[in-house]
Structure 1
Amino acid sequence: MDALARAGVGERIAYQRRVARMTQQQLADAAGASLGTVRKLERGERNPGAGMLEALADAMGVDVAVLRFDPKPTRTSVRAALPALSAAIATYDLPEDGPARPLSALRVAVSEAARWRVAAQYTRIARCLPDLLAELARAYHRASGADRTDLARLLVRAYRSADAMAYKFGAHDLSARLIDLMRWATVEAEDPLMTATLAYVRTETYFAARAHASGLRALENAIDTAPPPGSTRQAAVRGALHMRAAVIAGRAADASAAQLHLAEARSLAGRLPEGIYCGTAFGPDSVRAHEVSVAVSLGGDHLTRALDVAREWRPPPGLPAERRSGFHIELGRAQLWSGLADHAFASLRTARDIAPQHTREHPWVRQDAAVLRRLKRADAESLTSFAEWCAAS
């Protein structure tokens, strides 16, 4: 990845196209460009504009930041979208007049935003969610009966995608407001599994406030009131709550509660395949990744467990990018704390390869990169480049 960072944008386009197993013609067709344009871009004979770069990234299914390899434009584009997002949610109950697509088209748009969320493609969310939320609000207030209920469910999902972007970029007040709107829309959606999922998302506010013991109590209350695990979706939602409770129990230094919830999550995961249920990845692989999260949260002697997991298992490619990169970020912290500086840096670079935006915005990455830089002042360029990339101080 460091060689790729030094490459020009044309080389990065060519590299990602080969990774996507696309021909130049296929990329041109998917991006709405000519074959000659793609060839010139890859040879460095022409520089793409912002719109073309986004079209190419969308066509290859990668984040545009991978092609730019420049943190500043991504941060700027996401933060520039936050006022528009605030305006869209401020008028949730009195939306401005305007068009609204049919329910079927809105359903597709919301599902696409959910895919961007689990893939940690926050610039796409920033680009599309303000308008989509305003459109959903218009459609909701014009609808009645079953359509209105369906639109409330779409609003919950769309608010969650917007919240992921806001939370990851440190806009915690905006994130809390989006969670409040999720709560409002969940009541209108009349879906008990969405109520349980809301408790999973709301845990962000406890992480941000470092109110870990309170967050654990809130999750345990949600588990008590969640539907019993009679169906696959019910088992997955309950299992995800246990998984989340295990991590926050670790942050609260409650090892017994952490292990109890992790065991419950593991038991439920054994009953179903890995997948995304009600917007949350859950299954045997997700639980295994969370074993590392719990070990790092508990720290001390528990770090050995994180290293043991990594020796025998790595997240498979089918796991969402955000979860895979999170595993390597947390593994890197365990390795750093265990005196394995080179391994820690390798883990951070792997996380960057998987999900650059998630990795760059993660506070642990900045902290750990800064520590690594101080520990290895003589180790040159790649570590310095990485630290500058993620704005480590």
Structure 2
Amino acid sequence: MSNWAELTTGGRIKHLRGSDLTQQGLADAAGVSLALVQKAEQGRGELSVGSLLRLAHALRTDVAVILGQQAPRRGMRQDTRTALRRLADAVHDSALGDWDGLDDPSTIAELSAVHGRACSAYWRGEYGALSELVAKVLLEGSVQYGQATGRDREQLGSLLAGTYQFASSAAILLGQRDLALSALTSARRLATTSGDEVLVALVESTLSWIHLRSAKAARAVTVAERAALRIEPSFSSSPRPQLLAFGRLMTSAAVAASRKGDATAANDYLSQAHAAAARLGRDESLHGTHFGPTAATTEAVGIAVALGDHGRALRLASRTELPGSMPKLARNRYKLDVALAQCAAGLHDQAGDTLIEVGLDAPEWVRHQALPGVIGQRLAKVSTARVRTISELIGVPLIA
């Protein structure tokens, strides 16, 4: 097979489909029309992000593989394979209790500090460093958790739950859904045992996101809404952690509803997220989750893009100032939404500049995102030379 990135998107879909699956079979599995599959393989027309997600799920791969940003598993970069292997070993060995290499155990305070560094690595998109830190907390923490009692056990349980959650989030970003669900199963069990209803709600937020990444938007909405109802706050008296979790869940539901094309539900959920953000009054972070006025506003831009209201997305973006405290991944995910809206509005030079900003700011993370490929293909209709220049600058193949 030729270099994966050199194939067309249609060629990659056809190769992934193989001879055992007909075009009709792929259409049925993805829940799309036969005509869409035929046009996709022939390179006619543009695939929406939603269609790409459905095709990727049916082909048991990631959108980035379809777009040529990532090769199939055996073509994955060595550093990414190493990070994934480390994450998988830590998640499975700690859950099974098969690790006994604890000679000089870290204290709970020391493990908490490592967890904090893992949080920072995740939000910077540094998966190699993240996998090392996650492995330390999960392997050492799980051994101690089995022997701890009382307050120590509660603290370790919360710490482990949060760390499994980071492992899950990283795994789904790297296209490993089974590993993500395995890690989140452990996170949910420990969070429930800890009795921390906010932590439980935030774990459910991650589950909603996994379903969304797996093209199961309806399930993503259901999970987020159900979890939000369990902690629905009284806006006049609820504790701030509860407001944060509720706002994050309402945002998750809004994003998922927008991917279904349900503008009414998306806007209803988003209005509740804005209400929670207004009540908080400032951006806050809890258990590695960020929410507040900035998150509500930037997510509104992405929701407008998903609903096809690119003018509204750009108007919102023009009034949005990003604080320096905004996590790198959240900032760049927002910028990709802006670039997509700029493409749709014919602002191709601006879209290209925005894509370059993202690629230079988060080079490891951007390789595993679907939108750069979507944006690149749309920009290529105006200037393939510009897109190839952008590809070289950010180190991500955007077009064949």
CA shift for structure 1 position 390: 4.4
> Is it true that 1:328 corresponds to 2:335 in the alignment?
yes
Question: Which 10-residue stretch deviates more, 345-354 or 316-325?
Answer: 345-354
**Whose RCO is larger (CA < 8 A, sep 6+)?**
2
Q: Is the 8 A contact 1:292 1:327 kept in 2?
A: yes
Identify the residue that residue 50 of structure 1 maps to in structure 2: none
> Is it true that 1:176 corresponds to 2:184 in the alignment?
no
Query: Which of the numbers 205, 230, 253 marks the counterpart of 2:261?
Result: 253
Identify the residue that residue 396 of structure 2 maps to in structure 1: 389
Identify the residue that residue 231 of structure 2 maps to in structure 1: 226
CA shift for structure 1 position 208: 2.5
Query: Which of the numbers 248, 251, 259 marks the counterpart of 1:243?
Result: 251
CA shift for structure 1 position 249: 0.8
Output the CA distance in 1 between the equivalents of 2:152 and 2:216. 38
Output the CA distance in 1 between the equivalents of 2:199 and 2:358. 30
SS of 2:267 mapped into structure 1: helix
Q: Deviations over 1:320-351 (max 9, x none)?
A: 11111011011111111222221111111122
Identify the residue that residue 78 of structure 1 maps to in structure 2: 80
> Is it true that 1:135 corresponds to 2:140 in the alignment?
yes
Amino acid at match of 1:252: K
Identify the residue that residue 217 of structure 2 maps to in structure 1: 212
> Is it true that 1:290 corresponds to 2:299 in the alignment?
yes
Relative to structure 1, is the Cα distance of residues 352 and 212 closer, same or farther in structure 2, using a 3 angstrom cutoff? same
Relative to structure 1, is the Cα distance of residues 205 and 164 closer, same or farther in structure 2, using a 3 angstrom cutoff? closer
> Is it true that 1:268 corresponds to 2:288 in the alignment?
no
Q: Deviations over 1:101-127 (max 9, x none)?
A: 111111111111112222222221023
Amino acid at match of 2:287: C
Structure 2: runs of 5 or more not aligned? 1-69
Output the CA distance in 1 between the equivalents of 2:133 and 2:288. 19
Query: Which of the numbers 298, 310, 320 marks the counterpart of 1:313?
Result: 320
Output the CA distance in 1 between the equivalents of 2:115 and 2:387. 44
Q: Is the 8 A contact 1:373 1:383 kept in 2?
A: no
Query: Which of the numbers 140, 147, 151 marks the counterpart of 1:146?
Result: 151
Aligned residues: 321
Percent sequence identity over matched residues? 25
Output the CA distance in 2 between the equivalents of 1:329 and 1:94. 41
> Is it true that 1:277 corresponds to 2:286 in the alignment?
yes
Q: Deviations over 1:10-53 (max 9, x none)?
A: xxxxxxxxxxxxxxxxxxxxxxxxxxxxxxxxxxxxxxxxxxxx
Q: Is the 8 A contact 1:250 1:294 kept in 2?
A: yes
CA shift for structure 1 position 357: 2.2
Identify the residue that residue 171 of structure 2 maps to in structure 1: 166
Q: Is the 8 A contact 2:225 2:253 kept in 1?
A: yes
Identify the residue that residue 58 of structure 2 maps to in structure 1: none
Output the CA distance in 2 between the equivalents of 1:308 and 1:380. 26
Relative to structure 1, is the Cα distance of residues 335 and 101 closer, same or farther in structure 2, using a 3 angstrom cutoff? same
SS of 1:375 mapped into structure 2: coil
Output the CA distance in 2 between the equivalents of 1:75 and 1:294. 32
Q: Is the 8 A contact 2:283 2:292 kept in 1?
A: yes
Q: Deviations over 1:134-184 (max 9, x none)?
A: 111111112122211111100111112212221111111111111111111
Relative to structure 1, is the Cα distance of residues 332 and 318 closer, same or farther in structure 2, using a 3 angstrom cutoff? same
- The equivalences for 1:195-206 within 5 A come to 195-206=200-211
Output the CA distance in 1 between the equivalents of 2:250 and 2:244. 10
> Is it true that 1:371 corresponds to 2:378 in the alignment?
yes
SS of 2:324 mapped into structure 1: coil
> Is it true that 1:349 corresponds to 2:356 in the alignment?
yes
Q: Is the 8 A contact 2:387 2:398 kept in 1?
A: no
CA shift for structure 1 position 75: 4.0
Relative to structure 1, is the Cα distance of residues 381 and 89 closer, same or farther in structure 2, using a 3 angstrom cutoff? closer
Amino acid at match of 2:98: P
Amino acid at match of 1:86: A
Relative to structure 1, is the Cα distance of residues 121 and 378 closer, same or farther in structure 2, using a 3 angstrom cutoff? closer
Amino acid at match of 2:80: V
Amino acid at match of 1:121: E
Identify the residue that residue 304 of structure 1 maps to in structure 2: 311
Q: Is the 8 A contact 2:336 2:354 kept in 1?
A: yes
Q: Is the 8 A contact 1:114 1:157 kept in 2?
A: no
Q: Is the 8 A contact 1:95 1:134 kept in 2?
A: no
Q: Is the 8 A contact 1:182 1:198 kept in 2?
A: yes
Q: Which has the higher helix share?
A: 1
CA shift for structure 1 position 371: 3.1
Output the CA distance in 2 between the equivalents of 1:384 and 1:284. 33
